[in-house]
A and B are shown apart, each in its own frame.
Chain A
Amino acid sequence: MAIKKLDEVEFGVDLPTFIPDTSLATTTQFAKLIGWNAPRFTDHEAAKKEGLAGAMAPGVLSQGYLVAMIHNWAPVAEVQSVDTVFRAPVIADEAHTITGVVTDIDEDNAKVEIDLTVANEKGETRVFGTATVKLPR
């Protein structure tokens, strides 16, 4: 059920898990669209020559998925910030999962803080961060 108001949110509640499309076709298309046409984003073999495990999804694509996940949960949310720490590359064509959980509720200012984690199939954290969102009362 989509969240519409602040009082529907509880500390510690999980957001619905989000499965991002990290296929090479999508990450390549996105990279080209934003002008990041470097082979590390579009070509597995070229990325391996740079020491990566494969072509990687652009960081801003991961950030976009994080915001999409928040809006799936609360379409009316005003996303005020998404603060990310990129710990390891999100490798294209590998399955990833994005999880989110409410870790702070500021009732005075109608704001909620959400922990966000992008993990691979092995459960290893690739990207983590926090988002601050404002919700209607």
Chain B
Amino acid sequence: MILDLHTHSIKSDDGRAKVENYCQWIRSKEMPIDGFVLTEHRQHDFESDYSSLAEKHGLVILKGSEVETEYGHVLVFGVTESLTQAFDFSSINLSLENVIETCEAHGAVAVPCHPGRPRVGMFAHTEELGVPNGVKIVEIFNGGSRDNEDQIAIDNAENLGYQGIGGSDSHIVSHIGRCATAFTNDIHEMADLISALQAGEFKAINFKH
């Protein structure tokens, strides 16, 4: 099963895509992905219910978040009400180690995204701040990467023994599915995704030309 683990909808300040249009796009273009995770910036969308859309289009639609730390941006999977009370999702200067530790304590998984990117990527800060504790997975394929950002992510992940996921980081409809993650087992709900990430049963895929 293949999921795009990093997407944004109009719920994000810079997102321009409606979730229904993502679904239409995936099906009309016969994209090789089975669903996606909405990772809205600095928030978690508890309100929206995409279950009928998911059923209508035969897709898995899950919800995570993208938060901001001193090491750059971080995807969070398995967000609960209690996790959103444990740290301020709207902050732009969270502690990465604290985010990882707190996520683990709440059964969630934190994954630094586009880590090869200047300023907002983890590896842009490791020389100055050191290698953070607790990181196990990073995003090694990002649909919005420029220059050698993905390669920086891949090389550093290999050196540090991190596993890699892929996500499009789509903000408009037609950018979904450029990168994704293949899972050994089927993923139907967030608990399945968390189990697969914790078990390391996945592989990043790059669909960019």
Number of interface residues of A (CB under 8 A): 20
* Closest residue of A by beta carbon distance from B29: A12
Q: Does A39 touch B at the CB level, under 8 Å?
A: no
What separation, in Å, do the CA atoms of A113 and B28 have in the docked complex?
Answer: 16
A85 B171 Cβ-Cβ under 8 A: yes
Residues from chain A with a CB closer than 8 A to the CB of B146 are 88, 122, 124-125
Q: Tell me how far the C-beta of A75 lies from the nearest C-beta in chain B, rounded to whole angstroms.
A: 23
Q: Does B174 touch A at the CB level, under 8 Å?
A: yes
Q: Does A123 touch B at the CB level, under 8 Å?
A: yes
* Closest residue of B by beta carbon distance from A84: B16
Residues from chain B with a CB closer than 8 A to the CB of A130 are 16, 172
Binds A, one of B18-26, B104-112, B159-167: B18-26
Residues from chain A with a CB closer than 8 A to the CB of B209 are 123
Which chain B residues (162-209) contact chain A, with CB distance < 8 Å? Answer: 171-175, 208-209
| Number of residue pairs spanning A and B whose beta carbons lie under 8 angstroms apart | 51
Given the known inter-chain contacts A123-B208, A124-B146, A130-B172, please indicate yes or no for A11 contacting B16, CB distance below 8 A. Answer: no
* Closest residue of B by beta carbon distance from A14: B174
B16 A124 Cβ-Cβ under 8 A: no
B147 A101 Cβ-Cβ under 8 A: no
What separation, in Å, do the CA atoms of A115 and B146 have in the docked complex?
Answer: 20
Interface size range of chain B in the complex = 20 to 34
Which chain A residues (116-134) contact chain B, with CB distance < 8 Å? Answer: 116-117, 122-125, 128-130
Given the known inter-chain contacts A103-B173, A103-B174, please indicate yes or no for A83 contacting B16, CB distance below 8 A. Answer: yes
Q: Does A94 touch B at the CB level, under 8 Å?
A: no
B28 A104 Cβ-Cβ under 8 A: no
Q: Tell me how far the C-beta of B188 lies from the nearest C-beta in chain A, rounded to whole angstroms.
A: 27
What separation, in Å, do the CA atoms of A124 and B173 have in the docked complex?
Answer: 17
Q: Which of B14, B25, B144 contacts A103 (CB 8 A)?
A: B25
Q: Which of A12, A88, A101, A129 contacts B16 (CB 8 A)?
A: A129
A117 B18 Cβ-Cβ under 8 A: no
Q: Does A87 touch B at the CB level, under 8 Å?
A: yes
B28 A12 Cβ-Cβ under 8 A: yes
Residues from chain B with a CB closer than 8 A to the CB of A129 are 16, 172
Residues from chain B with a CB closer than 8 A to the CB of A122 are 146-147
A-B pairs, 3 with minimum CB distance: A103-B173, A115-B174, A124-B146
Identify 19 residue pairs between A and B in the complex whose beta-carbon atoms are under 8 Å apart, listed by A's number. A11-B28, A83-B16, A85-B14, A87-B144, A103-B21, A103-B24, A103-B25, A103-B173, A103-B174, A104-B21, A115-B172, A116-B172, A117-B175, A123-B209, A124-B146, A124-B147, A125-B146, A128-B16, A128-B172
8 more CB-based (< 8 A) A-B contacts, given A12-B25, A103-B21, A123-B209 = A103-B172, A104-B173, A115-B174, A122-B146, A123-B208, A128-B16, A128-B171, A130-B16
